[in-house]
Amino acid sequence: MEANVFDQDPYKTTANTNRAIEVAIGKKLATSDKLNAIAKSIRLSTGAPMRFGDFTPEQQDKIRHESKNIGGAKELIADKDNLDAHVLATLIKAEDEIYNVPGMERRQCMFNHVRAPDNPIFPWNWHRFDLEIWKVNNPIQYPADVANLIADRWNELVFTKIDEPDYFQDAFGIVDHRDGILHILQGMEPSARKALFETMNISWSTEVFTNDEANARDSNPLGSQFRQHTTGGLSNVVRWSDTEDKSVNQWVLDAIAHGKPVLSGPSGHTLRYLNHYAMCREMLNYDKHTDTRQLPTLEEARLVMLGNLLPPKNHHSYHEIMLASVGVFDGEQALGYSNKLNYDDLNSTAIGSEVLTSVLGRAV
């Protein structure tokens, strides 16, 4: 079978090296007390509720629903002082229906707008950069590590159901489970494929780094030793081409050209979070009682999203987060992404520079 484009060298070797750097950066950002304080300040500055009880009943229901698999939700419910909880609280406010734009076919929230053509999400977050994993009809689209995970979980399931010959037919419509899982997946209805992946717990994190989590250890069906959330990298598959949307092709080529890892496409969460904060920051600048110089900068807000999404959380890669931030403007400053071959853009903040020096210093 022909390999996924992201499994080809020299890109794969370079991307794997960079992924190790991103994991190290992600761990340090996720556990940074200074960055947590910035996330808390942004939450306060945007007017997001600072206690779970202050959210509307509808918002509380949404948070409870998301607590089944979203990082930070249980911490938010318990009013924990935690980076992921602060980010989620801010996003819940930003994604409220009061900010919806009427008539938009997809993703109605006004903070999905992009002003800069250099941002691949331009002009609106309607591009289909990825597919939910169960919607993928051709297994060639799975990265090798995801395909291997599916195969391993399938073998485990077959072994546990060895005494139930009708199980696969009754549960998923699979006539002969001996055909091989990648062949079987191609012939399945999407709804059956979704049910199978849920049974095999494909989307749940397999990472054991939990130093930043402050939640109960009962969400992840794989066990309490793992991170207690699903991940973007195991829930979605990046599309590497689209005959009708050049933005899909261009961002993939850009990632390959610079050897940067991909996980689930340019980050819509980053775009909405930063756009929302930028709007609030600009409005506060008109308040004579507020000194915006004391507020977190846009670069610091972007650093919060890196801490919220990077591996080992495995929601988005560095490149996907940085690209999504390009052009975000608060009335005074616009975010850019100048150094795609490395991670030098982190040096725009004191925390980022400290983390990068620490990570690269150890790597040397």
CB burial readout 244-259, b (16+ within 10 A) else e? eeebbeebbeebbebb
Confidence at residue 165, expressed as pLDDT on a 0 to 100 scale: 86
* Structural contact between residues 40 and 86, judged by C-beta atoms closer than 8 angstroms: yes
Q: Give the type of residue at 343.
A: Y
DSSP assigned state of 226: S
* Structural contact between residues 41 and 293, judged by C-beta atoms closer than 8 angstroms: no
Confidence at residue 363, expressed as pLDDT on a 0 to 100 scale: 44
In sequence order, the 6+-apart residues with CB closer than 8 A to the CB of 8 are none
What is d(CA 353, CA 358) in angstroms, rounded to the nearest whole number?
8
What is d(CA 143, CA 128) in angstroms, rounded to the nearest whole number?
18
Q: Give the type of residue at 143.
A: P
Which is it for the CA torsion 297, 298, 303, 308, positive or negative? positive
In sequence order, the 6+-apart residues with CB closer than 8 A to the CB of 57 are none
Q: Is the peptide bond before 190 cis (omega within 30 degrees of 0)?
A: no
In sequence order, the 6+-apart residues with CB closer than 8 A to the CB of 304 are 35, 38, 39, 42, 83, 86, 87, 273, 296
Confidence at residue 105, expressed as pLDDT on a 0 to 100 scale: 73
Residue 340 φ/ψ, nearest 5 degrees: -75, -20
Q: Is the peptide bond before 312 cis (omega within 30 degrees of 0)?
A: yes
* Structural contact between residues 86 and 42, judged by C-beta atoms closer than 8 angstroms: yes
What is d(CA 177, CA 154) in angstroms, rounded to the nearest whole number?
10
pLDDT in tens, the chain (364 residues): 456 889 999 999 999 999 999 999 999 999 999 999 999 999 999 999 999 999 999 999 999 999 989 999 999 999 999 999 999 999 999 999 999 998 887 789 999 999 999 999 999 999 999 999 999 998 889 999 999 999 999 999 999 999 998 999 999 999 999 999 989 999 999 999 999 999 999 999 999 999 999 998 999 999 999 999 999 999 999 998 899 999 999 999 999 999 999 999 999 999 999 999 999 999 999 888 888 889 999 999 999 999 999 999 999 999 999 999 999 999 999 999 999 999 999 999 999 999 999 999 854 3
What is d(CA 267, CA 323) in angstroms, rounded to the nearest whole number?
8
Confidence at residue 364, expressed as pLDDT on a 0 to 100 scale: 36
